[in-house]
Amino acid sequence: MGARTVLVITHSADPAPARVIAELEQSGAQAVRLDTDRFPRESQLVLEQGPGRRSRFLFRDGDQLVDLLSVDSVWYRRFYRAELDPELDPSYRDYAQAETRTLLSALFAALGHARWVDPIERVHRAHHKTLQLEIAQRAGFVVPDTLTTNDPEAARRFFAAHPAIVTKMLNAISFRDDGTEQMVFTSVVTEEHLLALDGLRHCPAVFQEKVEKDVELRVAVVGKKLFVASVSAEPGTPGAVDWRQDPNLAYRFRPAEVPASVADCIHRVMDAFGLSYGSFDIIRRPDGTHVFLEVNSAGEWMWLAEMVGLPIAGALAELLAE
């Protein structure tokens, strides 16, 4: 068998693929990076099909020319909107965006012969937090008592039924404020917030019981391998509810482990979604119980590799090159 060819689907500002590509090339595999935001301005696709000849799906980026029908594996990392020419007539921009995305989607659908990490439809299905909680429970995890609603009265009843609750979004939301990107973090719901719940009629929200923490665990799953790190924040500090609110906590993650029973639950969730990569957020309570929060089917891992020294890039390269 010759050297394997791996297609990496991402965007130009994503630093993580470089590590995996280096590992792939060191093992003798060929890596082809397709930055979705740079197509069609800076890279080209030529799809040749017709009677009596073999189809060719040629991808050119600079000096690299590859027939994508020859790829053995695909790493679906990110899919970003095309950065179109700013001089393009605004009346054509929506049309150009739609055609560009449709062509890329059609191309990816035609690569069904390749091994995907992971298939796009599975990644998208696993994105749904409500489904995650159902599957996690069936897999044996303890999950927080959760309410997802646009009904203010239901939210008030939920608040009254628990000693403390938090609220979060169904998606990872960011916005720009004074030119800087701001994230919407998990936050504690107070009596004062109850007065503003009528805003739910404009946008639903997720409410969960506040889980008492010993440590927070981040578990990156690559195939059957688990890479675990933990962090603990002091009560009353900005990162006590959501560690991401304290940038310094990213540097305090340390290698950790999970019990075999929890590892089994993780693998059952992965199998239920049909995924080979996922990033789990789990809380370990002071009594030792592990509580499932969520799994991100395309979650970030590079900071774990850099700050904790977990060899995730090598594991991904090995999975793609199998």
Nearest by Cα to 37 from 98, 80, 4: 80
pLDDT tens digits, one per residue of 134-162: 999 999 999 999 999 999 999 999 999 99
pLDDT band of residue 250 (cuts 50, 70, 90) is: confident
Exposed (0-12), middle (13-18) or buried (19+): which is 146, by Cβ within 10 Å? middle
Please confirm whether the linkage preceding 118 is cis (ω < 30° from 0).
yes
- Strand order from edge to edge, sheet including 64-67: 44-48, 56-61, 64-67
d(CA 313, CA 25): 12
Question: Is the per-residue pLDDT at 125 higher than 80?
Answer: yes
CATH 1.20.1630.10 corresponds to the domain 119-144+213-310: no
Report the chain's terminal Cα–Cα distance, integer Å: 11
Of 64-68, 89-93, 221-225, the one with minimum mean pLDDT is: 89-93
Q: Per-residue pLDDT averaged across 272-285, rounded? A: 97
For all residues of the chain together, what is the average pLDDT?
91
Of 24-38, 154-168, 229-243, 306-320, the one with minimum mean pLDDT is: 229-243
- Tokens representing 203 are 């946008």
Percent of the chain beyond pLDDT 70?
96
- DSSP code of residue 286: T
d(CA 30, CA 2): 10
Q: What is the pLDDT of residue 180?
A: 52
CATH 3.40.50.300 corresponds to the domain 145-210: no
Q: What is the pLDDT of residue 175?
A: 45
152 CB-near residues (< 8 Å, 6+ apart): 197, 198, 200, 201
**Conformation bin of residue 140: beta by default, left when phi > 0, alpha when psi is -120 to 50:** left
Lookup result for tokens 């994105």: 127
Q: What is the pLDDT of residue 1?
A: 45
Lookup result for tokens 């009594």: 287
Write the CA distances from 221 to 130, 237, 278, integer angstroms: 21, 29, 5
d(CA 166, CA 178): 27
Q: What is the pLDDT of residue 178?
A: 54
Q: Per-residue pLDDT averaged across 255-277, rounded? A: 98
Question: Is the per-residue pLDDT at 177 higher than 60?
Answer: no
Say yes or no: do domains 119-144+213-310 and 145-210 share a fold. Answer: no
pLDDT tens digits, one per residue of 84-123: 999 899 889 999 999 999 999 999 999 999 999 999 999 9
Q: Regarding predicted confidence, which is higher, 1 or 184?
A: 184
CATH number listed for the domain at residues 5-117: 3.40.50
Does residue 273 contact residue 297 with C-beta atoms inside 8 Å? Answer: yes
Q: What is the pLDDT of residue 171?
A: 80
Q: What is the pLDDT of residue 183?
A: 62
pLDDT band of residue 274 (cuts 50, 70, 90) is: very high
Question: Is the per-residue pLDDT at 297 higher than 60?
Answer: yes
pLDDT band of residue 181 (cuts 50, 70, 90) is: very low
Domain ranges of the chain: 5-117, 119-144+213-310, 145-210
Question: Is the per-residue pLDDT at 40 higher than 50?
Answer: yes
